[in-house]
Amino acid sequence: MLKTVSTKQVRLGMFIQELKGAWIDHPFWKKAFKLEDAADLTKLQKSVIKEVVIDICKGLDVAEAEAEAVVEATSMPKTEVPAVVAIAESTPLPKPAPSPKPKRVTANEERARAKQIINASKQAVTSMFSDARMGKAIKAEAAMQLVDDIASSVSRNEGALLSLVRLKNKDDYTYMHSVAVCALMVALSNELGLSEAETKQAGLAGLLHDIGKAAISMDVLNKPGALTDDEFALVKLHPERGHALLIQANIIDEVVLDVCLHHHEKVSGMGYPHQLKADEISLFAKMGAVCDVYDAITSNRPYKAGWEPGVSLQRMAQWADHFDDRVFKAFVKSVGIYPIGSMVKLKSGRLAVVVDQSPKSLLTPILKVFFSTKSKTRLQVEVLDLSSPSAQDSIVGHESPALWGITDVDKLWAQ
């Protein structure tokens, strides 16, 4: 049953069927959704939209919402948490009714299958780039099979493949970056509650987003030093060249073409190639921007070592002019506040590396404890599940391996 109400009456838990007024005037990319994010409620009530249509069969009615608001206001504890934690632990983003998913397994259980998928993907993407360089058509069917395999792995355990693909070597970066962005796009799509069809579109867009680099010399792409102005100008042409290659290959999916062309746009309008701003950039291109940057800064490149995953998220959170806020919040949730491979310091003074996420909370991952900051010595490796009542420890924050002269963090979690 539909009911028109004032935006002042809107409360969390209502299902917004329609926002009265022009689409350009409201801050949401979805036309109909359940309102479950307090930040979205604030945006709606501060917007020029005065009325909305709610569906009381799918969400709360006015009276029900007011009653729940009273209960929440009197029972919710007040705590202070770091910025990235607050992003990931805030009320979940609107999602449709859940569909059946593959049974979740541990990162350790999924790792062997993820390695096989990564190896096959590397060969396929290398061949895809080679064909593009020689003017051959890109095989969309083969690309879609890769997306299906990657999506299946992410569904079983989102961290296993995402963490392993980050270990790409410098020479493989151009190819494996495409695989990584594909996996990140799938995980982000799941967090945003996109449909299965949209998730596959996003995955394919991630896989093909950098195909334009096939038109650029590998000597330039893998140059160990700083690029000259002319070389950088050449690299910046890859979105447009990739867009042309996709059309030439008869790949006309709007999402794939859009992400290829616009994944370097910034919400500030300072990106390229078209200097699009905020709402001028599509949801999928905003997703592509976050996923592309995250994999780039966490990977070892010819000219610099990658940043630690957790530190990367903290730094990205400070680039307010770069990413869409809503999309970035969902991205943090999709990879975890403490992604696999992150080194953290515990309240006890010990250092640990994240080896898996806990299904109970993003704040209590599964760790391998291996170092004492008090004695500055290695400890016998201990697996610690922070979600267990017997854990008796907690994370203080991210820690840089370089500060302690630790060089084998990746070996610790990947073994």
pLDDT attached to residue 274? 96
Query: Is 94 inside a domain boundary?
Result: no
CATH number of 126's domain: 1.10.3210.10
Tell whether the model's pLDDT for residue 303 goes beyond 80: no
The more confident residue out of 255 and 98 is 255
Question: How many separate domains does the chain show?
Answer: 3
DSSP bridge partners of 372:
350, 377
Say whether both 128 and 12 belong to one domain. no
- Is residue 90 included in any domain, yes or no? no
Residue 100 lies in a domain: no
Could you tell me if residue 303 is inside a domain? Answer: yes
Beta bridge partners of 15: 34
Residues 328 and 285 in one domain: yes
Rounded mean pLDDT, 172-189: 93
What DSSP string runs through 67-87?
HHHHHHHHHPPP----HHHHH
User: What is the pTM (predicted TM-score) of this model?
Assistant: 0.74
Residue 220 phi, psi (nearest 5)? -75, -45
Both tokens assigned to 240: 């447009």
Question: How confident is the model over 9-54, as pLDDT tens digits?
Answer: 999 999 998 888 643 355 564 567 888 888 788 888 887 788 899 9
Place of tokens 């999309």: 327
What local confidence, expressed as pLDDT, does residue 81 receive?
44
What CA–CA distance (Å, rounded) separates 137 from 388? 52
Specify the pLDDT at position 84. 60
State the distance between the two ends of the chain, measured CA to CA, in whole angstroms. 55
Query: Is 87 part of any domain?
Result: no
Pick the more confident residue, 414 or 124.
Answer: 124
In a domain, 368, yes or no: yes
Q: Is 176 exposed, middle or buried (0-12, 13-18, 19+ CB in 10 A)?
A: buried
pLDDT band at 70 (very low <50, low <70, confident <90, very high): very low
13 lies in which domain range?
2-78
Statement to judge: residues 62 and 139 lie in one domain:
no
- Please say if the pLDDT value at position 210 is more than 80: yes
Residue 185 has pLDDT above 70, yes or no: yes
Residue ending a domain, among 276, 304, 335, is 335
Same domain as 50, residue 115 = no
- Which residue would you say has higher pLDDT here, 69 or 382? 382
Q: What is the mean pLDDT of the chain?
A: 86
Query: 273: cis peptide before it, omega within 30°?
Result: yes
Q: Which of 291, 313, 335 is the last residue of a domain?
A: 335
- For the cut 50, the answer to whether the pLDDT of residue 79 exceeds it is no
Whether residue 232 is contained in a domain is answered as yes
Query: Which band of pLDDT confidence, cut at 50, 70 and 90, is reported for residue 168?
Result: confident
Q: 335, 358, 375: which is the final residue of a domain?
A: 335
Q: Quick one: pLDDT at residue 66?
A: 56
Question: Residue 164 falls within a domain, yes or no?
Answer: yes
Residue 216 has pLDDT above 50, yes or no: yes
